[in-house]
Structures are given as C-alpha cells and as structure tokens.
Amino acid sequence: MEQAGLQTIATFNGTLLTRKRVHGKPFVQLIFREAGKDWLCLSSDIAHAARLQVGKKYRIEGIFKSLGEHTYIHEPQIAPLAQQIVKRRLWISLAIALAILLTGTGIVLAATHKVTPPSPGAPVFGRAPTDVPVTTPTDTPSDAPAAPSTNTPPVTTATSPPQSAPTTPPPATPPVLAVTPQPPADTIAPTVPTDLMAGASLTGGISLSWQASTDDVAVVSYEVFRDGSSVSSTTDTTYTDTTAPAGVDHTYTVVAFDAANNMSASSAPYTVPATPEP
C-alpha cells in the first residue's frame, strides 16, 4: 500500500473470484483474492469488467475509499498479470545485459593494466627482510624469588532453600456450542449467451436475439450493450433497440445475471451495418 496525500493507493496481484452487477447501479462489483484476503473493487467500466475471466490473476491498482464500515477500491486499473510478468522479465533481461557489459569492461581494464616487478633490494610488503638479526629473550634465572602466596580460606555463602512457585488452578474450559453450518453462497456465474444475432426491425430500430444462458440456480435477466455502453436490461432472449443512431455501424454484446447477481462473461460481439438515415 502507498500513501498519496490523504488517499491510500492499493497495488496487488489477485485472482478474480466473483463479478456481480447490482441492478439500478452504474457499476460492477469485482472481488479479487490475494493470499487468502478478499478485496472489493467497484468499476463503472461494465464492458471491460465483462471481459475479465473468473479464476484468472490480474494486476490491480486503485484508490481506497470508505462506504460506512466497509472499504473498497474505487475505479481500479485492472490488467492481466501476464503483461506485468513480460514487463518484469524485460527489465530483468536489461539489468543482466548491463551487468555483463560492466563486468566485461572491468575484465578488459584488468587485462591491460601492467604490473611492474619490484627492483632488486627493494622492500616487499608483507615479507620481513632476511638480513635483520633476530633476538630472543633470555631465560628467567631459576633463583629469582617466587611471588608470595597467601592462604585464603574458602568463602562459603549460605543459600536459602528454594521456594516453590504458587500453584494456580487451570482456567475453566468454556462450553462448546454447536454451530449449524450455513450453505455456501452462490459464486458461480451463468454461462455465456451464444448465437447473438441482430438486424433491422420491421417496426423500426434494431432487433436482437440470442440463445439462453444456463445456471445452477436460475438466470433472471440479460443486459444489452451497444458499442460498449449499457442500453437496457430484459428478462427475455430478444430485444429491440429503438434508440440506435442511424448512419453508423453498431456492435452489440449481451451478458447474463443469475438470482445471486453473478454476471456472466460477455457474448461474442455482433456488428450491424449502418442503416440509412430517414
């Protein structure tokens, strides 16, 4: 974590666990897990969030914010971890190449440096001259008086008997309460909507249809995106877009939601050619 003024910046690598869209809110809830800890991220880029894959690792950077007692990462920058690994490997390769270049330069300089041998008779560091006489101390005469010795009686100290530590009764063991296990929360996203098709409607606008998604609980709604922006939500597998501007191409995608607000990945895009303006 880094401090930027009064804002706390979060930077970590996490695995995407769940992706949920709260109906009526212009953002997606993304939960990433890093080292056993879950991080909540709120992103208004719904189309980008739909392209993220559950179970894969990403690099997340964002600013911490508070909502009541809860904290979350606001508008995070999310990138696949593989891109970060490639950048890191590139920097490591550059550092290794620079180290090899500097090491090679040092070897060349060491090889070209000429060492001059010492002249005869010159002193050599670390070696004593051979013509200096060596003197040894004389032995101490045996008739030298010895140091007087004193007979000091041994000193005895009285020791007190060891005291036993006071014993304390062990703490009472709290009663074990039976806990009823709760059923696990639904974190499985619906399958991706398939076979998205679109064309001009007889009553005006662009008519879309797709194959229904499946889920272990139930698919409750679909959200339609036009050119990366949300257009509408529907419970059917068909939708007619009557607000699409004429004269330009439009690309549509669809995502599915289940009863636990888990959001599926985005469907394959379908581009509708431009229709003439009336």
For the chain, the structural domain boundaries read 2-82, 194-272
Q: What local confidence, expressed as pLDDT, does residue 106 receive?
A: 60
Taking domain 194-272, whether its CATH number is 2.40.50.100 is answered by no
Which two structure tokens, joined as six digits, stand for 101?
A: 């270049």
| Maximum CA extent, the chain | 135
What is the share, in percent, of the chain residues with pLDDT greater than 90?
31
Which two structure tokens, joined as six digits, stand for 258?
A: 């289940």
Sign of the CA dihedral with 52 first, then 37, 34, and 42 last? positive
Q: DSSP secondary structure string, 193-234?
A: PEEEEEEE-TTSSEEEEEEPP--SS-EEEEEEEETTEEEEEE
Mean pLDDT of the chain: 78
Q: What local confidence, expressed as pLDDT, does residue 32 receive?
A: 93
Q: What local confidence, expressed as pLDDT, does residue 225 receive?
A: 95
**Model pLDDT for residues 182-219, shown as the tens digit of each residue:** 777 788 899 999 999 998 887 778 999 999 999 877 89
Higher pLDDT: 156 or 185? It is: 185
Mean pLDDT of 124-130: 48
pLDDT classification of 70: cutoffs 50, 70, 90: confident
How is the chain split among helix, strand and coil, in percent rounded to 5?
Answer: 15, 35, 50
Does residue 39 have a pLDDT over 80? yes
Same fold, 2-82 and 194-272: no
| DSSP state, residue 88 | H
Q: Which of 15-29, 132-146, 178-192 has the lowest mean pLDDT?
A: 132-146
Q: What CATH code would you report for 2-82?
A: 2.40.50.140
pLDDT classification of 157: cutoffs 50, 70, 90: low
Strand, helix or coil for residue 247: coil
Does residue 143 have a pLDDT over 80? no
Mean pLDDT of 174-182: 67
